[in-house]
Each structure stands twice: as structure tokens, then as C-alpha cells.
Structure 1
Amino acid sequence: MFLPYHKDDAAMDTAIMIWNKVISHTGLFQNIISDRDPKFTSELWTNLHNLFGTKLSFSTAYHPQTDGLAEKMIQTLEDMIRRFCAYGLEFKDSDGFTHYWCTLIPALELAYEASIHSSTGKHQQC
């Protein structure tokens, strides 16, 4: 799931966003895998995991397989966003309403998840 956030968002902002955009739609998750980002290692997240009975796992630092997969995904997403923005940061639909590229993120997410991934040979949804 793609979620927009700012690099300087506080842990509470991230928790509220995940509650509003993920948990309220899909239910509680069993596990979050993090790269040790302070947003997920804060006391707030520790308390949330204890409260909900969920688990926080960390990717291994400097682990080539984990780092490589994450970097490949980030590179792919950056390329997709760059292509979206190549059409302009804003555009008009057939009714003349102005939209901004960020409104296309759900379409970008669908395109990414529907594509065949070279590492697995499957769709993201499989």
C-alpha cells in the first residue's frame, strides 16, 4: 500500500495516517517490517504494538537481499512517479476540472501491484 508522508512527520502523524488509511479499511495487521526508521521505533509504536498485540520486525541492516529488493522497488516507484509527472503536475479531465499528479497515486499503486515482479515472477497481490 502506498501512503504519502513527509520525511519530517512525527511518529504520531504516521500512526494516525496508518490508522485512517490502513487499519480502518483492512483491520489490524499482524506484523510491520521496518528499516529501523525512528517513526516505527518510538515509544508510541512500542505502546501501539503492545496494545494491539501486533509485532514489529526489522529488516537486517546491510543485508544485500533485503536492501536490493527495497532499493529496486524504490527505483521502480521513482521511475513511475517521474513518468506520471512528465505529463504535468496538474491536468484537466474531460469535464474541465483540474487535478494534480498526486491524485493519480491510486492508479500508480494498481499498476505496480498488477505488474509481474522479476524477483518472484508473480503479481504483488499473489
Structure 2
Amino acid sequence: MTQEITKAYEKIRKALTEAPLLLMPDWNIPFKLYIDACGDESGAALHQVQIIDDKPTEGPVCYISRQIKPTEDIYGASQMECLCLVWALEQLCYSLDGSVFEVINDCSSVKSLLNMKTPKRHMFRWQITIQEYTGNMIIVHKAGNIHKNADGLSRWA
């Protein structure tokens, strides 16, 4: 091997074996679920704050993303964020069922959409799905310029 190949190999090996690695979930610690929907994609990042090297460090447990179906393309930005939340809860139910977690999103109207008194049918179905988690879930709004965890996933699904 040439020195250039050896350097490239070491660089790849280092990238694959050093942070940011996925954390093993600790079921005794609350999760943070970052969600974002943008255009034709949506994504979510499940994180936890764990003690690593004697200091609390937030790290990823898993990442998920998907492209929006053609039938979902009619939804506005707020509804897309709600759909992203429902989809993420369904995909990550094995981690979130019975766990305490925060949902962080960049759409301030998600809470109000989920509390509508007379929602349309699809929103009503979403409310039912989300109600399974309401005792353990807190929804937090974080401005888009600081909400970066799931942002990239929603743009490159």
C-alpha cells in the first residue's frame, strides 16, 4: 500500500470508530425526538443525554427519514410536521412505548393542531395515534435555525 492509501484507510477507520457513534438506548433515561418535515421529505432523530467520559453528552440513538407519498403532498407545512410526528412515533414505538421523551420540532402550531376540537378525519386519526404517548411525551418548539438534528434528514430522504 502506498502512503496515500494508508492515510485514506486510517481516515475512514477513524470516522467509523469515533464519535458521533450511535448510542445504545438506556431505558431509564428520557429520550429526545427531533422531527422535521421539509418539502417532499421528513426525518427524525432519536437522542439521549448519557454520561460519557464522566460528563453528560447528548448523542444519537437512531436516525430515520422518508420521502412523502404523493397522497400526502397536499398537506401544508403544519400538517406535514404532525404527519412526521405520527410516522416517527410509529417507526420508533419499540423505543418510545413506556418511555418518557421530548418531541422537539420547528413548527409552533403542532400543539394546537393536535388539540383541535373538530379535526378532519386524517387529523383525528393522527390525534388517536399520538394520544397513546401523551402521558410520557412533551412537545417543545425550537426555532428552525437551532433545530438542526432532524433538519438534514428531512432534506435528503
Give the TM-score, by structure 2 length: 0.30
Higher share in helix: 1
- Structure with the greater relative contact order (CA < 8 A, sep ≥ 6): 1 or 2? 2
Greater gyration radius: 2
